[in-house]
Amino acid sequence: MTMKDQIKFVRQNMKKNKSRVFMTILATAIGCAFLIVLASVGFGLHKSIIQELMEDRLVTEIEVHAQMDDQGNYKAINERHIEYFEALDDVKAVTRRQMLQQTPVFQIGEYHIQANTLVTFFPEEVKAGFELSEGRLPGNPNEIVVGYTFPEGLSREVGEDVNPYNEDGTVKKEFAFTDKVLGKTVQMEVLDKKESSTTIPLTIVGIAKKPARDWMANSDVFISEAVLKEIEAFTGTPGGSLDVETEGIKDSDEKTYDQVKIYADNVQSVTGINEVLEADNYATYSIVSEMKQVNMIFTIMKIGLILVGTIALIIASIGIYNTMAMAVTERAPDIGIMKAIGANPGTIKKIFLLESSYIGLIGALVGTIVAYGISIAVNFSLPLVVENIFDEAPPENLLFSYIPWTLALISIAICLMVTVFSGWRPAQRATQIDVLQAMRREI
By CB atoms closer than 10 A (0-12, 13-18, 19+), residue 242 is middle
Residue 173 lies in a domain: yes
What is the tens place of the pLDDT at every residue in 196-252?
899 999 999 999 998 766 556 789 999 999 999 999 999 888 888 887 555 544 444
**Are residue 216 and residue 127 in the same domain, yes or no?**
yes
Q: Is the pTM of this model over 0.95?
A: no
Spatial contact of 25 and 363, defined as CB atoms under 8 Å apart: yes
pLDDT, averaged per 10 consecutive residues of the chain (443 residues), comes to 66 73 87 91 84 66 90 90 93 94 92 93 92 93 94 83 75 84 94 88 93 72 94 90 61 76 88 91 86 82 87 82 77 72 74 82 92 91 80 73 91 88 80 67 43
Residue 236 lies in a domain: yes
Query: What does the pLDDT read at residue 214?
Result: 56
**Are residue 52 and residue 68 in the same domain, yes or no?**
no
**Are residue 244 and residue 320 in the same domain, yes or no?**
no
**Are residue 29 and residue 117 in the same domain, yes or no?**
no
Residue 276 lies in a domain: no
Query: What does the pLDDT read at residue 246?
Result: 52
Q: Three-state SS for 22? A: helix
Residue 286 lies in a domain: no
**Are residue 231 and residue 149 in the same domain, yes or no?**
yes
**Are residue 211 and residue 343 in the same domain, yes or no?**
no
**Are residue 78 and residue 219 in the same domain, yes or no?**
yes
Mean pLDDT of the chain: 84
Domain boundary among 247, 265, 283: 265
Which structural domain range is residue 398 located in?
A: 3-56+293-439
**Are residue 230 and residue 207 in the same domain, yes or no?**
yes
**Are residue 68 and residue 47 in the same domain, yes or no?**
no
Q: Three-state SS for 36? A: helix
Residue 91 lies in a domain: yes
How many other CB atoms are there within 10 angstroms of residue 117's CB atom?
24
**Are residue 173 and residue 196 in the same domain, yes or no?**
yes
**Are residue 245 and residue 229 in the same domain, yes or no?**
yes
CA–CA gap between residue 286 and residue 53 (Å, rounded) = 11
What is the tens place of the pLDDT at every residue in 248-265?
444 445 789 999 999 998
Query: What does the pLDDT read at residue 146?
Result: 95
**Are residue 74 and residue 196 in the same domain, yes or no?**
yes
What is the tens place of the pLDDT at every residue in 162-202?
777 777 677 888 888 888 999 999 999 999 888 889 999 99
Residue 240 lies in a domain: yes
The total domain count for the chain is: 2
CA angle in degrees (0–180, nearest 5) for 158-210-187: 40
Q: Cα–chain-centroid distance for residue 428? A: 49
Residue 351 lies in a domain: yes
CA–CA gap between residue 16 and residue 334 (Å, rounded) = 14
Query: What does the pLDDT read at residue 287?
Result: 81
Residue 431 lies in a domain: yes
